């Protein structure tokens, strides 16, 4: 029987590589994108359409979670707050957390993806969580994934085999992610990473800086056109 994977995908490098790995492992791909009011949602969706075609995904599911936008609390969703520019990680002085942190985002995203996985009987949920992001965002780390998988066993109907969240990049930093992406022929050229959501990557937000530095340190030509 075909193995199915729900691939939580933002259209960025990490989640696109995770989806590529799922594809290489023989999973049928069901890409899952969440709009939670982030500035870049339109550009992300555009990237995902292209990535889905490239990876021959079976379906794409676009989900909206307006509550997270309504809630604000993040420079990604609150247009009155500024996205930090020109610093690799800019920590909020009082909270020691980047202003780009979205409250409980990955928990909320995974809860939605898990419900979807239950309905389509998916075996796995692939995410692009990685060591680089985990330095600023605790919901990207190995411990979060392990604990979430324990919860998931009791979160789906008892007749279901619970899907497993797989985070194949969880120990990797950006340069290794890029090298792995090239090695596995992931469509890195189709990905979109910028927090600002303009047509071209700004090149100076935290996410663009990670992207640029990743290509540089990997010693690989960066296909991205920056403003």
Could you tell me the smallest distance in angstroms from the CB atom of residue 44 to Zn ion?
12
Question: Toward Zn ion, which CB reaches closer, 18 or 205?
Answer: 205
Unique residue bearing structure tokens 């309504």: 70
Give the side-chain half-sphere CA count within 13 A for 11.
25
Binding mask 142-181 for Zn ion (x = CB under 5 A): ----------------------------------------
List binders of Zn ion among 105-134 (CB under 5 A). Answer: none
Beta strands in the chain (DSSP E): 3-8, 27-35, 59-64, 124-126, 164-166
Closer to Zn ion at the Cβ: 172 or 205? Answer: 205
Q: Using CB under 5 A, which residues numbered 53 to 82 contact Zn ion? A: none
- Annotate 68-133 with three-state secondary structure: HHHHCCCCCCCCCCCCCECCCCCECCCCCCECCCCCCHHHHHHHHHHHHHHHCCCCEEECCCCHHH
Query: Any idea what DSSP says for residue 184?
Result: T
- Minimum CB separation of residue 102 from Zn ion in Å reads 16
Does 40 participate in binding Zn ion (rule CB under 5 A)?
no
The stretch among 18-26, 97-105, 160-168, 196-204 that binds Zn ion (CB under 5 A) is 196-204
Can you tell me which of 208, 210, 214, 224 binds Zn ion, judged by CB under 5 A?
208
**Pair 87, 208: CB distance under 8 Å:** no
The gap from C-alpha 132 to its chain's centroid, in whole angstroms, comes to 12
Q: Per CB under 5 A, which region of 32-40, 88-96, 177-185, 200-208 contacts Zn ion? A: 200-208
Of 124, 194, 210, 215, the one binding Zn ion (CB under 5 A) is 194
- Binding residues (CB under 5 A) for Zn ion: these are 194, 202, 205, 208
């Amino acid at each position: 029987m075909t193995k199915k994977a729900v691939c939580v995908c933002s259209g960025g490098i990490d989640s696109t590589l995770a989806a590529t790995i799922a594809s290489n492992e023989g999973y049928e791909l069901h890409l899952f994108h969440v709009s939670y009011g982030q500035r870049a949602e339109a550009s992300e969706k555009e990237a995902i359409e292209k990535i889905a075609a490239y990876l021959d995904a079976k379906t794409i599911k676009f989900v909206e979670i307006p509550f997270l936008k309504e809630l604000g609390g993040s420079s990604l969703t609150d247009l009155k707050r500024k996205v930090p520019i020109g610093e690799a990680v800019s920590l909020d002085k009082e909270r020691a957390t980047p202003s780009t942190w979205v409250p409980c985002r990955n928990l909320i995203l995974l809860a939605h993806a898990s419900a979807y996985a239950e309905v389509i009987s998916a075996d796995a949920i692939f995410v692009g969580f990685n060591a680089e992001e985990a330095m600023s965002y605790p919901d990207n780390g190995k411990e979060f994934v392990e604990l979430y998988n324990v919860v998931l066993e009791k979160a789906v109907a008892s007749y279901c085999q619970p899907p497993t969240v797989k985070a194949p990049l969880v120990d990797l930093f950006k340069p290794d992610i890029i090298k792995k992406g090239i090695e596995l022929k992931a469509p890195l050229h189709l990905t979109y990473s910028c927090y600002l959501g303009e047509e071209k990557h700004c090149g100076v937000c935290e996410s663009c800086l990670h992207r640029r530095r990743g290509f540089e340190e990997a010693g690989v030509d960066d296909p991205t056109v920056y403003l």
